[in-house]
Amino acid sequence: MEAEIITIGTELLLGEIVDTNTSTIARALRQVGLDLYRTTTVGDNAGRIAQAVRESLARADAVITTGGLGPTVDDPTREAIALALDAPLAFHPELWEQIQERFARFGRTPTENNRRQAYLPRGAVAIENPVGTAPGFIVESAGSSVICLPGVPAEMSHLLEQVVIPHLQSRSGLGSVIETRLIHTAGVGESWLDEKIADLEALRNPTVGLSAHPGQVDIRITAKAASKAEASQKIDAIEATLRERLGDAIYGSEGATLATLVLELMRRSGWRLTLVESGTASLLSQMLSQETHGLVDFQSLPHRADHDELESALTAAQAGVGSQAGLGVSLLPQGNRYQMSLLLVLPDRIEGAELSYGGPAQNAPLWAANVALDFARRRIGRVV
């Protein structure tokens, strides 16, 4: 069974609000093993909504919409679904009574335009909304379901959990789940990873995909199976292969971060770390400032420092607090690129590196922070 999501609202297209409904619905569909291949956003226009619904129905078994179910003229979802399915709107007296009762519980009186919410496309079944004033509805059409939910996230989530997911499960006899796991890598590029695991990326179940971020790349493993345990076993097998092929390029999975890993290495070593950074908007300090328990001392230089200035500042800062380890990071613009100087001081040695970055300027600090943390975790990990 395949599904598509259509989020409705001109405010979404204008960037006035962020669409969180799509991710909520996608996660819910994944948990019951329903495949989602496409999502769409449409403004408050009945004709364009109807066209989007028709196109989705040509591909999917279930089309879930959110938004446009309010009482005002610019809430056209009911009219759009009626147009898409050639099913004229019909008034539902019992639905109007529910709306009036709901307003009464809130100590309010519905206005005449609220009656619009009691009109549904012919053949639609209403979804009572006990947490809001906009009821949803379900219409069956040529073996597919069109499910319309309010756009308010709390209302949408409640109806999704209580009504929609059980409806889809009973309709399709879904007996599977979809599980995902993120494997985090650093110190290697997306193209290098692709060469190493191209055969895994061609698999159908589980599927394997890459997602690049400044200074690191995530590998997503997704498995569909009859149970969570079976899906996890499929994912475990792929993860074992990834770890065998990629070695210490992998630093963790799911919620693991480079910062927490470096802090854990510092705890295990018993060392105190001095961090000096320049040109990174203090991003490294922010990443490492959680639960440091006195393991890290921070210093941000007020000016952009070259390699020699960075080394001098780090030496002075370490001497001031008597730390056993030091990490210095400097990021300097050079034309349309950035040059980063790295310096890691350990009790038995000093290591450094000069690296260049040519990506978007706004991502340079995050790239530098992730590269620096990976530089530290690889080298500290060898001696702890």
Q: What is the CATH number of the domain that holds 305?
A: 3.90.950.20
Do 245 and 266 lie in a common domain?
A: no
Same domain? For 290 and 321 the reply is yes
DSSP 61: S
pTM: 0.74
Q: Same domain for 318 and 189?
A: no
Q: Are residues 328 and 194 in the same domain?
A: no
Q: Are 268 and 226 contained in the same domain?
A: no
pLDDT given at position 172? 65
- For the chain, give the percent of residues with pLDDT over 70: 98
How many separate domains does the chain show?
A: 3
Same-domain status, 121 and 158: yes
User: Looking at the structure, do residues 378 and 247 belong to the same domain, yes or no?
Assistant: no
Tokens of 40: 């769409």
Angstrom distances, CA of residue 151 to CA of 56, 109, 160: 19, 22, 12
| 21 and 151 housed in the same domain | yes
- Same-domain check for residues 93 and 184: no
Quote the DSSP letter at residue 184: E
Mean local confidence (pLDDT), 250-265: 93
Question: What does the buried/exposed string (b/e) look like for 334-344 if buried means 16 or more CB atoms within 10 Å of the residue's CB?
Answer: eeeebbbbbbb
Residue where a domain terminates, one of 219, 253, 287: 253
- Helical residues (DSSP H) of the chain, grouped into ranges: 10-13, 21-31, 46-57, 77-85, 93-105, 153-159, 165-172, 190-201, 228-246, 258-269, 283-288, 307-321, 364-383
pLDDT digits (tens, 9 = 90+) for 263-283: 999 999 999 999 999 999 999
Q: How many Å apart are CA 287 and CA 257, to the nearest integer?
A: 9
**Nearest-10 Cα torsion for 207, 208, 212, 216:** 140
Boundary-marking domain end, from 212, 235, 253: 253
Instruction: Give the whole-angstrom CA distance, residue 86 versus residue 122.
Output: 9
Q: 63 with 186, same domain? A: no
Half-sphere exposure of 363 (CA within 13 A, CB side): 12
User: Do 272 and 373 reside in the same domain of the chain?
Assistant: yes
Query: What's 167's domain CATH number?
Result: 3.40.980.10
Q: Which residue has the higher pLDDT, 177 or 372?
A: 372
> How far is the CA of 61 from the CAs of 2, 5, 40, in angstroms?
5, 11, 16
- What are the Cα distances from residue 322, in Å, to 13, 271, 318, 328, 376? 55, 10, 6, 16, 19
Does residue 151 sit in the same domain as residue 75? yes
Q: What is d(CA 68, CA 123) in angstroms, rounded to the nearest whole number?
A: 19
Last residue of a domain, one of 172, 191, 212: 172
Q: How confident is the model at residue 105 (pLDDT cuts 50, 70, 90)?
A: confident
Position 226 scores a pLDDT of: 84
Sign of CA dihedral 309, 311, 313, 315: negative
184-242 per-position pLDDT tens digit: 999 999 999 999 999 999 999 999 999 999 999 999 999 988 888 999 999 999 999 99
Greatest mean pLDDT among 5-14, 176-185, 317-326 lies in 5-14
Q: What is the CATH number of the domain that holds 234?
A: 3.30.70.2860
Expressed as residue numbers, the domain containing 184 is 177-253
Q: Which two tokens stand for residue 374?
A: 């990976």
